[in-house]
Structure 1
Amino acid sequence: MTRTLLVAPGQRGALPTIRDAIDNSDGDTVISIAPGEYAEELVLERRNIVLKARDPGTVTLLPPSGDQPTLTLTGGSLELHGLAVKCVDHPAIRVSGGKLKLTDVEASSSFAAVIMVGDGGSLDLRTSKILGGQYGIIVEDADGVVDTCEIRDIADDAVILRLGAQVALRNLTIAGCGFRGVYMYQAGTSSVERCDISQTGDAGIAVADQTSPSIVECWVHDTQGVGITVGRGCGGVIEDCRVENTADPGVQIAEGARTEIREGASRAGKAAVGATVARSNQQDLAQVDKLLADLDNMVGLDGVKDEVRALIDEIQVNEWRRSEGLSVDAVSNHLVFAGAPGTGKTTVARIYGGLLKALGILPNGNFKEVSRRDLVGQYIGHTAEKAASAFDEARGGVMFIDEAYTLARSSGSGADFGQEAIDTLVKLMEDHRDEVAVIVAGYTKEMVDFLDTNPGLASRFAKTLTFENYSPEQLVKISQFVAKSADYVLGADVEIALLEWFGQIDRDANFGNAREARKLLERMRKSQSTRLRGLGSRPTRDDLRTLTLEDLLHAISGAS
């Protein structure tokens, strides 16, 4: 029978460390881990352990020192779900003769292979990310499956299958490698299927030394070396692949190789491949309808609603085209929201992120709001680091930059670190356009000036959505909604008085739209409290719920 143990430092009834939970395990054990960073020596020998984040994406495993891997498995089995595993000078995860299964894991190591599996072990890696490392994944004398994963920013080879490895690579996105994307030697009949491999310093896929792989429906593009190279004595098949913008020849078969090429290796118009596309098949159309209904229920913003619906329609049609094998132009999910404060930009951005997740375009739809202070550093080199870190935290969802135009304003210290942040974001938005939707927001005129600060900035955004000021009638509706959500009602003649008040407010640069309504309702609530306290008796339930004309007049007089 499987036992579950909870690790939560400082919580009564829970174990303080993962090591304690492992030592207390007996047979098959699931260890549920509370949010936090855990720097522990985790060496497992002949154990059957499942490590699971209680809240996915909130747990990070680190080595206690720089002289060992973060996780070492010898025999037995280890499963990881929803965790991050980081290391520096050694592999993040090393397996010798054991069974390793990872789902929704993010792993990295600066100066070593991120994951190493050998000595008859096995690897089952799905819906995960390998980010950074000397090598991404090395499998030797072991078997496995790597499916629907992203491997990026690797110093050398992204995947090495060697010396008896037998591995199926499916639906991978491999990009940004210093040497090769996939390198196979003495790797039997391993396979590479429906993978997107790009931005490699040498070949996209290199096959050598008696390996006979199946390379099927892959897209190899934008590589410094040839797209696919096969060495003497190798066999296998290259079937229905696209090889574009690589060194010549796109596919290089050495004399003496037995590899068969089917249907050509440079065929355009094929369906998209890779990890993002594999995930995009999982659509939640019921959630799409719900989010669009939430959008429709917002007061005003008719033009914005139409624009968002048009974007969603285009995304949906593109997904249908992909499923039929038709070509689809690259579409940016980045947007500009222009308009005064309090016009619903943040709310619409959250809905938009949810829609992209429901349509399978973004993995999680998380929403990260940042401003200048989150992106701009205090010294040379600090800004690029901060901007990249904030961007990385937003991966899989929406990065919302409010008052983005402030990045283009000098701090007065002489160094223009805001411009450095803009330049960093421009590159990141292009390199990772399928992973993050960046939304920049601010006043209309200032956003026009902001887009002129970098020659490539404007082209990164699909569209500008303009948020108009709310009319007096719309502000009254917002006031009613705010009151109702806080369990208040507006008394007789209050709505008429509100309409008159909102109609005479100066709509200068400081006008806050919905914020004005919320602030006024808050002052009315305080006025009501003063009035009810002065009654000399306990107010009725209706008294407690009703905001009167007297409350409004008192709130207005206090604001003027």
Structure 2
Amino acid sequence: MARTLFVSPEQRGALPTIRDALAAAEPGATISVAPGEYPEHLELTEQVVTIVAREAGTVTIAAPARDSPALSLHNATVELHGIILTAVDQPAVSVRGGQALLRGCAITAELAAGVHVHGGATVELRDTKLTGGRYGLIVEDADAEVDRCEVRDAADDGILLRLGAQATVRNSIVSGCGFRGIYMYQAGGSRLERCEVSHTGDAGIAVADQTAPTISACWVHDTQGVGITVARGCGGVIEDCKVENTAPPGVAIAEGAHTELREGDPERGAAPVGAAATGGKQDLEQVEQLLDRLDGMIGLAGVKSEVRAVIDEIQVNEWRRSEGLAVGTVSHHLVFTGAPGTGKTTVARIYGELLKALGILPHGTFKEVARRDLVGQYIGHTAEKTASAFDSARGGVLFLDEAYTLSRSGGSGADFGQEAIDTLVKLMEDHRDEVAVIVAGYTGEMADFLAANPGLASRFAKTIEFENYSASQLVEISRFLASNDDYLLDSGVDLALLEWFRQIDRDENFGNAREARKLLERMRKSQATRLRGLGRRPDRTDLRTLVLDDLLEALRGAE
């Protein structure tokens, strides 16, 4: 019978590192690890071993370098129970070939996938949380079974099943992803069962490239894109799913796809799939909540007043319309002018949600574009790209930042930029009730932009000027940003920040809140260097507190 090895840097007779235990382990051994953080890159090749946290959730295996995983498995057979694994530029767990079981683990990688399974491996993830990173889980040319897991806050796709993957994901939650929740391509007959997918930057579940999945009893809601989308050439079944508060049509099955859509039984509580968000109905409670959110933003008194005036006019017009009174044509397009970092994008998002809550637009989709998204490389290509971007924002907001780069005074390729402006003018008129267009940029340059087409300025209801933040407001923003990342500013830091923001050069390139964010990032790096030099493990207060020395060091680095 294989023995159990004990790991503890402080326990007499135990092995000091997990790597030492792996070197001594016989096939089938169990390694029991005492609480603590272990900065190790564990690389297992053709080993058979189980690694268990003595107390679940108290053992962290942290990649010792930015460019290394925490755990690399090569044709090994490994079980992990109750372990936390972290990495930066590489996956926290990389599995190539072999078999692995991860149960009750917590995994994150800052800039890569939490778990990457490939090379014919077979992996089970149970009761495991994958947080942050570029992706939560990638499975390619491998098999995976995922049960009762959570994937949250991935910058890109939450779960990516691709290139020969065969996976079953059941009873799991995918939420807060920057792009899609679950994306499958060339993933055979993979299955999604009883999963919840929400708050994604694009589609909740996307199926592409000859994949024929079974998507059963899933709940997809509050996504910026379509709830479930299936591309041409795909098959499979979508059954008993509930899709709510997504971009219409809820479920989008492309022409040429062979997916069978089986609607749920409303009496059993499953809303028919494909149900789009409703338009035309007002949610006045939501309107007030959104206005409170707007009021809660730091500074921007003039902006808040202007947006409220627009909303008041819309509300009164709706009341007049309901009483059979005449209502003039109202444009919902706006111009935002001012320096960068003054909250234009955030306000534009809230404005789109307000239009949805007022029943003006069917959903709150927010599509941000720049010159490169609209301008093509030859005559005719630009009109096609601009129309495509506009169409993708239907029912929501199309936000064009640095819009002045499209005008003839905006530099090279200006003729193609002019083609984009001319196309945009026509689309704004033809579909004025379907999209709210917001253009943004520096005050002076935006005047040139509005003059680029005789009908452009008249398409916009109002121009709202975003003023620079005061020094005291930038200090308040710094404190808010720090709090959001679970940091505190020590006594004296506020006054030093105030002095810095008062004397900083505010030319046209001054970034306002962006300057505060960049300075805070430098302070965090300075804090990390300071804490590493303490000669002891910092406590919770140490880890949370940014002190005056951190600020001074950050300012020296900025000079």
Would you say same fold, with TM above 0.5?
yes
For residues 474 and 488 of structure 2, what CA distance do their matches in structure 1 show? Answer: 15
Are positions 1:82 and 2:82 aligned together?
A: no
Tell me the equivalent position of 1:279: 279
Deviation at 1:541, TM superposition (A): 2.1
For residues 100 and 59 of structure 1, what CA distance do their matches in structure 2 show? Answer: 13
Are positions 1:432 and 2:431 aligned together?
A: yes
- Superposition TM-score, scaled by structure 2 size: 0.57
Tell me the equivalent position of 1:545: 544
Deviation at 1:12, TM superposition (A): 1.6
Tell me the equivalent position of 1:473: 472
The higher radius of gyration belongs to 1
CA gap of 1:61–1:524, structure 2 versus 1, over 3 A, is closer
Tell me which amino acid in the other structure corresponds to 1:311.
Answer: V
Deviations 1:145-173 (A, max 9, x none): xxx9xxxxxxxxxxxxxxxxxxxxxxxxx
Deviation at 1:415, TM superposition (A): 6.4
CA gap of 1:415–1:334, structure 2 versus 1, over 3 A, is closer
Gap runs ≥5 in structure 1: 1-7, 22-31, 43-48, 72-78, 94-98, 104-123, 129-147, 149-277
Q: Is the CA contact (8 Å cut-off) linking 2:250 and 2:275 kept in structure 1? A: no
For residues 389 and 357 of structure 1, what CA distance do their matches in structure 2 show? Answer: 22
CA gap of 1:12–1:338, structure 2 versus 1, over 3 A, is same
CA gap of 1:317–1:415, structure 2 versus 1, over 3 A, is closer
Tell me the equivalent position of 1:210: none
For residues 399 and 169 of structure 2, what CA distance do their matches in structure 1 show? Answer: 37
Tell me which amino acid in the other structure corresponds to 1:367.
Answer: F
Q: Is the CA contact (8 Å cut-off) linking 1:40 and 1:61 kept in structure 2? A: no
For residues 462 and 405 of structure 2, what CA distance do their matches in structure 1 show? Answer: 20
Deviation at 1:490, TM superposition (A): 1.3
Partner of 2:167, secondary structure, is: coil
Tell me the equivalent position of 2:298: 299
Tell me which amino acid in the other structure corresponds to 1:484.
Answer: S
Q: Is the CA contact (8 Å cut-off) linking 1:410 and 1:417 kept in structure 2? A: no
Q: Is the CA contact (8 Å cut-off) linking 1:284 and 1:359 kept in structure 2? A: yes
Aligned with 1:13 (options 148, 165, 168): 168
- Superposition TM-score, scaled by structure 1 size: 0.57
Q: Is the CA contact (8 Å cut-off) linking 2:251 and 2:274 kept in structure 1? A: no
Deviations 1:336-391 (A, max 9, x none): 00000000001101111111111111111111111000000011111011101111
Deviations 1:442-463 (A, max 9, x none): 0000111110000010011000
Tell me the equivalent position of 1:35: 205
Q: Is the CA contact (8 Å cut-off) linking 1:334 and 1:461 kept in structure 2? A: yes
Tell me which amino acid in the other structure corresponds to 2:311.
Answer: I
Query: What is the total number of aligned residue pairs between the two structures?
Result: 361
Gap runs ≥5 in structure 2: 1-160, 171-183, 190-196, 198-202, 237-241, 244-248, 267-271
Tell me the equivalent position of 1:490: 489
For residues 486 and 322 of structure 1, what CA distance do their matches in structure 2 show? Answer: 46
Tell me the equivalent position of 2:289: 290
Q: Is the CA contact (8 Å cut-off) linking 2:340 and 2:511 kept in structure 1? A: yes
Partner of 2:511, secondary structure, is: coil
Q: Is the CA contact (8 Å cut-off) linking 2:406 and 2:414 kept in structure 1? A: no
Partner of 1:536, secondary structure, is: coil
Are positions 1:524 and 2:518 aligned together?
A: no
Tell me which amino acid in the other structure corresponds to 1:399.
Answer: L
Q: Is the CA contact (8 Å cut-off) linking 2:408 and 2:452 kept in structure 1? A: no
Q: Is the CA contact (8 Å cut-off) linking 1:365 and 1:397 kept in structure 2? A: yes
Tell me which amino acid in the other structure corresponds to 1:287.
Answer: Q
Tell me which amino acid in the other structure corresponds to 1:553.
Answer: L
Q: Is the CA contact (8 Å cut-off) linking 1:353 and 1:397 kept in structure 2? A: yes
Q: Is the CA contact (8 Å cut-off) linking 2:382 and 2:420 kept in structure 1? A: yes
Q: Is the CA contact (8 Å cut-off) linking 1:367 and 1:397 kept in structure 2? A: yes
CA gap of 1:497–1:40, structure 2 versus 1, over 3 A, is closer
Tell me which amino acid in the other structure corresponds to 1:393.
Answer: S
Tell me the equivalent position of 2:309: 310
Deviation at 1:539, TM superposition (A): 2.2
Deviations 1:22-76 (A, max 9, x none): xxxxxxxxxx99733457799xxxxxx99999567154445549xxxx99xxxxx
Deviation at 1:86, TM superposition (A): 3.9
Partner of 1:12, secondary structure, is: strand
CA gap of 1:52–1:515, structure 2 versus 1, over 3 A, is same
Q: Is the CA contact (8 Å cut-off) linking 1:410 and 1:418 kept in structure 2? A: no
Map 1:167-182 → 2, pairs under 5 A: none
For residues 484 and 17 of structure 1, what CA distance do their matches in structure 2 show? Answer: 39
Q: What RMSD in Å do the two structures reach over aligned CA positions?
A: 4.3
Tell me the equivalent position of 2:116: none
For residues 273 and 219 of structure 2, what CA distance do their matches in structure 1 show? Answer: 17
